[in-house]
Amino acid sequence: GAVVSQHPSRVICKSGTSVKIECRSLDFQATTMFWYRQFPKQSLMLMATSNEGSKATYEQGVEKDKFLINHASLTLSTLTVTSAHPEDSSFYICSARGGGFSYEQYFGPGTRLTVT
Amino acid sequence: DAKTTQPTSMDCAEGRAANLPCNHSTISGNEYVYWYRQIHSQGPQYIIHGLKNNETNEMASLIITEDRKSSTLILPHATLRDTAVYYCIVRANAGGTSYGKLTFGQGTILTVHP
């Protein structure tokens, strides 16, 4: 299957700082990327959907000014957690989907964010 | 997208077949059944999907009942590395506001033991 990478795999930051997480599709062009969040012992929750070159669509209850998503190219999307707080500590996972009739989503390995 | 119901957990002996059931009684005609799994602290991995015919690939088989209200994922010879959370997801593949979105439920925790 297609390969999606995330960087960093783990990050620890202090409360009030911002953190950027990168999601890259390595061997295909991703017209759509999705960002999920997963708290311990819970399922994945979709945060937002981003299409290349346009603004992201956020799920209800997700603050767009706090979780900034940029999808400037067909192989890269970034999620920036602004003014992070301990309750933002979570496992953030991206997925990517190619264009046309390719409906499959390929997931990245995830980024473990810990806010102290 | 239709909702799915899965058992919370299942056990399986190594080398035996693991049969994971999923109920999706409200599935509509244009919705596919997808299976993903998530090994601890990793991103989900695609396993298989189908519409109404049974499907098989190198990882698993998917059996969908004739009325499409339930399905079973079969891992023919489970190994310890198959221990994971298995998610059954129903999704339309085209059109609508939910196009492309995957809605994850709680899934089934499959534990394969020696």
A93 CB neighbours in chain B (<8 A) are: 43-44
Taking the Cβ of residue B101 and every Cβ of chain A, the question of whether any pair is shorter than 8 Å is answered with yes
> DSSP of A44-113, one letter per residue?
-EEEEEEETTS--EEPTT--TTTEEEEEEETTEEEEEE-S--GGG-EEEEEEEEESTT---EEE---EEE
Return the residue in A35, A43, A51, A102 with the most chain B beta carbons within 10 A, the one to mutate for interface testing.
A43
Residue A98: per-residue pLDDT: 73
The residue with tokens 């799994």 is B37
CA-based nearest distance A40→chain B, Å: 10
Look at residue B108 and tell me whether its pLDDT is greater than 80.
Answer: yes
pLDDT tens digit sequence for A11-32 = 999 999 999 999 999 988 888 8
Q: Of A52 and B79, which is predicted with more confidence?
A: B79
pLDDT, tens only, B11-63: 999 999 999 999 999 998 888 999 999 999 899 999 999 999 999 999 999 99
**Smallest Cα distance from B28 to chain A, Å:** 18
Nearest residue on chain B to A5, alpha-carbon basis: B43
Peptide bond into A109 cis (omega under 30): no
Q: Which two tokens stand for residue A42?
A: 């819970």
Q: What pLDDT shows up at residue B94?
A: 60
On whether the CB atoms of residues A39 and A84 are closer than 8 A, the answer is: no
Q: Which of B41, B46, B104 sits opposite A106 (nearest CB)?
A: B46
User: What pLDDT does residue B100 have?
Assistant: 66
Structure confidence at residue B98 (pLDDT): 46
Q: What is the pLDDT of residue A113?
A: 98
CB distance from B43 to chain A under 8 Å? Answer: yes
Tens of pLDDT along B81-105? 999 999 999 987 665 444 567 889 9
